[in-house]
Amino acid sequence: MARAVNQEQGRIGGVAERLRAQFHAVGLDDPLTGRHRAPSSSLHVTKNLDRRLVTCKENPGTLLRMSPTRRPETAARDAWRAYRRLQLLVDAEVARDLERASGLSLPDHEVLSAVVEMAGGEHCIRVGRLTARMGWAHARLSRQLGRMERRGLIAREPCELDGRGDDVLLTDAGRDAYERAAPAHAASVERHLTGLLTPEQLDVLIGIERTIADRR
């Protein structure tokens, strides 16, 4: 009888220890004593009645908001505002760095970058193809090309392949400007965006863009 009692007590003790370990891992109170236990080293949980925040050890400054009761319309509004703030902030910082280093505007660099990439695989870079590649409205791209043509960065000529439509060509001045700007642009993007995110966050950002772009 004594042996059976000891075995049962040992089993109960093992269960209790496993419960303590599980509660300890997420920073909750000890289920048996009621005492608060410190969270495990891999995750810090902040208890808050209004907001539930999880801080990752790998990036203590990053707070992941967990709001299971938040209304869908509130989440949609917050997501839109976050997207707009991020876009405006990063664009402004990169544009300032780029103009300071090369004299190019951010739209200048975007057009030159697209033309350089397309020039390697297409005989004629038509305005329509360039528009689709960049995701810009046709009128916006036409105005931008006009400004860049007047500054000697690009030229537009009839396509040699079939003579229909204009071919967007990169001038020597445009190529030189792009090559001067490329290091400053890359450094600025890393400083203000990609260098601040983890590889997993970058994958999420790319996945979001592809999800939305694939619907167009």
Q: How confident is the model at residue 214 (pLDDT cuts 50, 70, 90)?
A: confident
pTM of the model: 0.63
Beta strands 43-46 and 63-66, pairing class: unpaired
- Adjacent-strand bridge partners of 155: 169
Q: What is the CA radius of gyration of the chain?
A: 28
Mean pLDDT of 98-105: 95
Alpha helices in 103-171 (DSSP H): 106-119, 127-134, 138-150
Give the tokens for residue 71: 């209304």
Say if residue 168's pLDDT is above 60. yes
| Residue 56 banded pLDDT, cuts 50, 70, 90 | very low
pLDDT given for residue 115 in this prediction: 94
DSSP letter for each residue of 169-206: EE-HHHHHHHHHHHHHHHHHHHHHTGGGS-HHHHHHHH
pLDDT score at 131: 92
Q: 90-119 as b/e, with b when 16 or more CB fall inside 10 Å? A: beeebbebbbebbebebbbbbbbebbeebe
Hey, which of 92-101, 118-127, 152-161 has the most confident mean pLDDT? 92-101
Which pLDDT does position 128 carry in this prediction? Answer: 86
Q: What is the pLDDT of residue 99?
A: 95
Q: Above 80 in pLDDT, residue 19?
A: no
Mean pLDDT is lowest, of 61-75, 107-121, 136-150, for 61-75
Nearest to 178 by CA among 104, 72, 73: 104
Count of residues in the chain: 216
- Average pLDDT over the chain reads 76
* pLDDT attached to residue 3: 52
DSSP conformation class of 115: H
